[in-house]
């Protein structure tokens, strides 16, 4: 695999695409690339972690990873991954931070076509024009709310790690303040400054991203809702729809139909 990646990254082509199918629950240890990368799964769900955050990427979504960003990938079930590698000087003005993005039907088909392109290709050839259009479409990718930012302060990080391990933990800010021997306002300031979210909003986002993983693994909606600390499946569905625009039962169906 390292040799294949080296060939992809060392080619003179501005954009390359690599198609890889991974077995159930494959884990790719922390690594980085010399090129920008767009990770997209035509089938399956991925979770990606960097030093600054965590993303869950279902089908019809992708993750933009700027060059040099160290990241680890975990496949949730079987994943059919398509990765674009973009030379840093090929498209100035692209996003400079990791973010989840929407993959339009046009972008999906461009990625599929790019996976069939041989390298190197002539700039004025059909393949060259295809890749230029792909670069143009990269600038139009919509950013999506599939990110869970992680703080660096050890006190806030302790809270976040605990909630990742036990997302149904009902502890309040006052509870955490007592355990950490700080006042509530200190925790509020830490979350606002280091995650851009309130404590409650961060916990909600952590639960919803975990829900995506559990649903992708085949768990029933009622079991997911209860495992994440919601009072009922209805309360969970309401929060899920508010965040993602679809009911939990519809989310992956919509992805599969794209």
| 8 and 84 share one domain | yes
| 228 and 101 share one domain | no
Among candidate residues 85, 120, 144, the one where a domain is terminated: 144
In a 3-state reduction of DSSP, which class is residue 186? helix
Query: What pLDDT was estimated at residue 218?
Result: 85
Among candidate residues 76, 109, 144, the one where a domain is terminated: 144
| 156 and 206 share one domain | yes
Query: What pLDDT was estimated at residue 8?
Result: 57
- In angstroms, the Cα distances linking 35 to 10, 40, 53, 137, 150 are 9, 16, 20, 17, 24
What confidence category does residue 126 fall into, taking pLDDT thresholds of 50, 70 and 90? very high
Among candidate residues 95, 112, 144, the one where a domain is terminated: 144
| 104 and 182 share one domain | no
d(CA 224, CA 240): 12
Contact 94, 61 (CB under 8 A): no
Report, as an integer, the average pLDDT of 85-91.
91
Which domain does 62 fall in, by range? Answer: 2-144
Which CATH number do you get for residue 84? 2.60.120.280
DSSP 117-140: --SS--TTSHHHHHHHHHHHHHTT
> What pTM was estimated for this model as a whole?
0.83
| 121 and 156 share one domain | no
Query: What pLDDT was estimated at residue 168?
Result: 92
| 90 and 116 share one domain | yes
The string of pLDDT tens digits covering residues 14-66 is: 999 999 999 888 999 999 999 999 999 888 889 999 988 999 998 878 999 99
Which CATH number do you get for residue 227? 1.10.10.60
| 9 and 91 share one domain | yes
Number of domains into which the chain is organized: 2
What confidence category does residue 92 fall into, taking pLDDT thresholds of 50, 70 and 90? confident
């Amino acid at each position: 695999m390292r040799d294949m990646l080296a060939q992809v990254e060392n080619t003179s082509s501005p954009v390359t695409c690599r198609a890889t199918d991974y077995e159930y629950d494959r884990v790719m240890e922390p690594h980085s690339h010399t090129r920008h990368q767009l990770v997209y799964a035509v089938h399956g769900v991925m979770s990606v972690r960097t030093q600054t955050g965590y993303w869950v990427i279902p089908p019809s979504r992708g993750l933009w990873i700027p060059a040099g960003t160290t990241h680890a990938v975990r496949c949730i079930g079987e994943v059919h991954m398509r990765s674009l590698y973009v030379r840093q000087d090929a498209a100035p003005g692209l996003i400079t931070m990791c973010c989840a993005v929407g993959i339009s039907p046009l972008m999906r088909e461009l990625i599929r076509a790019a996976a069939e392109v041989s390298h190197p290709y002539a700039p004025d050839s059909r393949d060259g024009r295809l890749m230029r259009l792909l670069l143009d479409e990269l600038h139009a990718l919509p950013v999506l709310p599939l990110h869970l930012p992680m703080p660096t302060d050890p006190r806030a990080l302790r809270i976040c790690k605990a909630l990742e391990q036990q997302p149904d933990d009902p502890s309040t800010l006052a509870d955490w303040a007592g355990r950490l021997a700080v006042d509530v306002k200190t925790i509020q300031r830490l979350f606002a400054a280091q995650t851009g979210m309130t404590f409650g909003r961060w916990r909600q986002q952590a639960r919803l991203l975990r829900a995506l993983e559990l649903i992708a693994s085949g768990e029933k909606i009622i079991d997911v809702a209860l495992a994440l600390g919601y009072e009922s499946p209805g309360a969970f569905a309401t929060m899920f729809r508010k965040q993602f625009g679809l009911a939990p039962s519809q989310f992956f169906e919509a992805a599969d139909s794209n």
